[in-house]
């Protein structure tokens, strides 16, 4: 069966009528630009995240936490109390002399517990003397630190078997730095002061003690 071609005519697609052009809106007024000499001064400041504004204006200003300044002041002005209990006190006195010169560390001996902030327990602490050492510690203002100088102050030393000798001054007061030796040399005491200064900077966030 033969297929006859479709000869029906289809209507041409209709197009939308053209709309009339709308009248143009009046142009906006043109404002004059900045003067060439004033344009650089009116440029917005570049934002720098994490950098304070005063550091941009004054780059030489240094910002540090307040507790860091207080800790640096404390470690640079240690006032140890001047008292000795036994032969370690001779080595402590030698450390204060001109040959070692503790003043270069800002360490100045002070005869009163009211203004001292470091106690150096230099020598054997007997049970008769322990209450007096504890009373002196309680009279010192906060913050305060204790250095146990020598084997006798640390654990009784060669007298540890005597019942009248305290087995370490840390039984009655807290100790921050222990100095080994019997007796320790002045260099060991200087090293304990340097260790105490590092400890003060590490615990700078602690308010009081």
What digits encode the pLDDT tens for the residues 158-171? 888 888 888 889 88
pLDDT > 70: percent of the chain: 71
- What range does the domain containing 188 cover? 81-202
Query: pLDDT tens digits, residue range 119-146?
Result: 999 989 888 888 888 999 989 988 889 9
Within-domain flag for 130: yes
Check if the beta carbon of residue 137 is closer than 8 Å to that of residue 107.
no
Within-domain flag for 93: yes
Within-domain flag for 20: no
pLDDT of residue 80: 92
pLDDT of residue 102: 86
pLDDT, greater one: 178 or 46: 178
- State the sign of the Cα–Cα–Cα–Cα dihedral 164, 166, 171, 172: positive
Rounded Cα distance, 42 and 62, in Å? 29
Within-domain flag for 46: no
Mean pLDDT within 51-67: 70
Alpha helices, DSSP H, located in the chain: 53-57, 66-75, 88-96, 130-139, 150-155, 186-202
Here the CATH number for the domain that contains residue 128 is 3.40.50.12280
Mean pLDDT within 168-190: 90
pLDDT of residue 103: 84
Element (H, E) at 118: strand 118-122
pLDDT, greater one: 85 or 203: 85
Within-domain flag for 37: no
Rounded Cα distance, 82 and 153, in Å? 16
Within-domain flag for 176: yes
DSSP state of 34: -
Within-domain flag for 14: no
Check if the beta carbon of residue 70 is closer than 8 Å to that of residue 109.
no
Say if residue 186's pLDDT is above 70.
Answer: yes
Element (H, E) at 178: strand 177-179
Rounded Cα distance, 110 and 80, in Å? 6
- When pLDDT is cut at 50, 70 and 90, the band that residue 79 belongs to is very high
Give me 31's structure tokens: 């404002």
pLDDT of residue 27: 64
pLDDT of residue 209: 47
Within-domain flag for 153: yes
Say if residue 189's pLDDT is above 80.
Answer: yes
Element (H, E) at 148: strand 145-149
Structural domain total, the chain? 1
Flag the least confident range among 13-22, 54-63, 90-99, 194-203.
13-22
* Those residues with Cβ within 8 angstroms of residue 11's Cβ, 6 or more apart along the chain or in another chain: none
DSSP state of 198: H
């Amino acid at each position: 069966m033969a297929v006859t071609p479709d000869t029906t005519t289809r209507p041409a697609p209709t197009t939308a009528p053209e709309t009339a052009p709308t009248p143009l809106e009046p142009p906006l007024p043109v404002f004059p630009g900045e003067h060439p000499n004033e344009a650089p001064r009116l440029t917005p400041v570049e934002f720098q995240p994490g950098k304070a504004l005063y550091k941009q204006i004054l780059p030489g200003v240094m910002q540090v936490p307040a507790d860091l300044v207080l800790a640096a002041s404390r470690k640079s002005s240690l006032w140890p109390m001047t008292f000795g209990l036994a032969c370690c006190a001779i080595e402590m006195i030698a450390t204060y002399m001109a040959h070692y010169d503790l003043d270069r560390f800002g360490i100045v001996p002070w005869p009163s517990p009211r203004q001292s902030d470091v106690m150096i327990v230099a020598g054997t602490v007997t049970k008769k003397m322990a209450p007096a050492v504890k009373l002196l510690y309680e009279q010192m203002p906060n913050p305060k630190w204790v250095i146990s100088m020598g084997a006798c102050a640390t654990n009784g030393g060669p007298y540890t078997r005597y019942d009248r000798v305290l087995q370490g001054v840390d039984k009655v007061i807290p100790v921050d730095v222990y100095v080994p030796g019997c007796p320790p040399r002045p260099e060991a005491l200087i090293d304990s002061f340097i260790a105490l200064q590092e400890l003060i900077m590490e615990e700078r966030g602690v308010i009081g003690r």
